């Protein structure tokens, strides 16, 4: 074993054992240590161990890391998004970057449906009603806690990547009509599987439920804003498990207060934890969860095995399946 790997991402025990058959493994999950490495500490850690492989999830890897770690060959990122990685610098210094797209698609899709059902049936409110001892009238809840069904409703998906498609599959099993807005996949009217792409305006106008599944990029920020929030179908419910910045918060709060938006479920916030002065905190029609979209044991198992697969391919001289800087392979292979 002439290669060594530092794993800073959460990894399953099975994946660590499998990887240990091929390289020396140092495992220091940031969820266990409770800290992210600074660039200086990361450089020192890599150089002290003459490490060749680094796997991160939340740690930032900047140009100075690639420039000062001559033994580093392979960077694994246990996320789909790469906003915290300087991929251009990695490429310039000959470091392959591999990510794990779709690792949490099932988890986020299931939470999305759970939040949608919670809004439709008032599940959190009903739980508090019982647990706080306020259920005294056996008939009362049938009238003042009456919900609605998902079947027959229109679900609009803002973004139709891996997670959006997983949500669509589950929502259609409830009998929902699913439409999507994703200009990167085609023009309005295009069919992607069983789902028809629509313009953003149409999506806002006809959706009974609107679920956000866009990446956090400059192009997706403020997709729903002060200028178009009035187009939303009155009484719509919004679920956001993707990007806080896709919806202008002030416009959303005003729409919640006016009834334009009946309810919202948010798993992403301006900061994590949520700011204590968030206007959403005291609102009864806002359901807030602490960024748990991908927090499942299966997500860790999935990202671990995806990463081990590509590390093993790399060690055997084969192109990693999820190589980000694809043009680098011909230069270093």
93 and 114, same domain (yes or no):
no
110 and 222, same domain (yes or no):
yes
Question: 3-state DSSP call for residue 139?
Answer: coil
What is the mean predicted confidence (pLDDT) over 297-318? 97
Domain that holds residue 11: 4-103+297-332
- The pLDDT, as a whole number, for residue 318 is 96
pTM value?
0.93
Phi-psi region of 269 (alpha: psi -120 to 50; beta: other; left: phi over 0): beta
Q: What is the pLDDT of residues 258-288, one digit of tens each?
A: 999 999 999 999 999 999 999 999 999 999 9
What is the mean predicted confidence (pLDDT) over 125-136? 95
User: 190 to each of 176, 184, 239, 243, how far by Cα in Å?
Assistant: 19, 11, 24, 25
Average pLDDT, the chain: 96
119 and 211, same domain (yes or no):
yes
Task: Give percent of the chain above pLDDT 70.
Answer: 99
Whether the Cβ atoms of residue 118 and residue 265 lie closer than 8 Å to each other: yes
pLDDT grade, residue 333 (50/70/90)? low
Query: What is the domain-level CATH number for residue 142?
Result: 3.40.50.720
Domain boundary among 253, 271, 288: 288
186 and 274, same domain (yes or no):
yes
34 and 109, same domain (yes or no):
no
Q: What is the pLDDT of residues 62-100, one digit of tens each?
A: 999 999 999 999 999 999 999 999 999 999 999 999 999
Question: 3-state DSSP call for residue 51?
Answer: coil
114 and 94, same domain (yes or no):
no
310 and 216, same domain (yes or no):
no
Residue 142 has pLDDT above 60, yes or no: yes
- The pLDDT, as a whole number, for residue 1 is 64
173 and 187, same domain (yes or no):
yes
129 and 270, same domain (yes or no):
yes
77 and 188, same domain (yes or no):
no
70 and 150, same domain (yes or no):
no
Residue 129, number of CB atoms within 10 A of its CB: 16
109 and 83, same domain (yes or no):
no
What is the mean predicted confidence (pLDDT) over 233-238? 98
| Lateral strand order in the sheet of 24-27 | 24-27, 4-7, 53-56, 74-77, 96-99
Number of folded domains that form the chain: 2
- The pLDDT, as a whole number, for residue 330 is 75
């Amino acid at each position: 074993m002439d290669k060594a790997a530092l794993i800073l991402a959460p990894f399953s025990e099975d994946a660590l054992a499998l990887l240990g058959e091929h390289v020396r493994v140092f495992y220091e999950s940031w969820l266990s240590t409770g800290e992210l490495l600074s660039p200086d500490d990361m450089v020192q850690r890599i150089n002290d161990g003459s490490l060749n492989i680094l796997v991160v999830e939340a740690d930032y890897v900047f140009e100075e890391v690639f420039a000062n770690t001559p033994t580093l060959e392979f960077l694994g990122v246990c996320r789909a998004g790469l906003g915290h990685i300087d991929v251009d610098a990695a490429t310039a210094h000959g470091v392959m970057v591999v990510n794990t797209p779709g690792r949490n698609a099932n988890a986020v899709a299931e939470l999305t449906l759970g939040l949608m059902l919670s809004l439709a049936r008032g599940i959190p409110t009903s739980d508090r009603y019982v647990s706080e001892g306020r259920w005294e009238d056996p008939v009362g809840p049938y009238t003042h806690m009456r919900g609605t069904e998902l079947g027959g409703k229109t679900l609009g998906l803002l973004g139709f990547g891996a997670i959006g498609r997983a949500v669509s599959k589950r929502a259609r099993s409830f009998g929902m009509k699913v439409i999507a807005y994703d200009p990167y996949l085609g023009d309005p009217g295009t069919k992607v599987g069983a789902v028809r792409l629509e313009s953003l305006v149409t999506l806002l106008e006809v959706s009974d439920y609107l679920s956000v599944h866009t990446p956090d990029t400059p192009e997706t920020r403020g997709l729903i804003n002060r200028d178009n929030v009035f187009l939303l179908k009155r009484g719509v419910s919004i679920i956001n498990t993707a990007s806080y910045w896709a919806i202008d918060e002030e416009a959303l709060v005003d729409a919640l207060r006016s009834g334009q938006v009946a309810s919202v479920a948010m798993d992403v916030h301006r900061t994590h934890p949520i700011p204590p002065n968030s206007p959403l905190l005291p609102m009864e029609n806002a359901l807030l969860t602490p960024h748990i979209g991908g927090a499942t044991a299966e997500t860790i198992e999935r990202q671990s095995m995806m990463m081990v697969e590509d590390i093993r391919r790399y060690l055997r001289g084969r192109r990693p399946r999820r190589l980000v800087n694809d043009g680098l392979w011909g230069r270093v292979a």
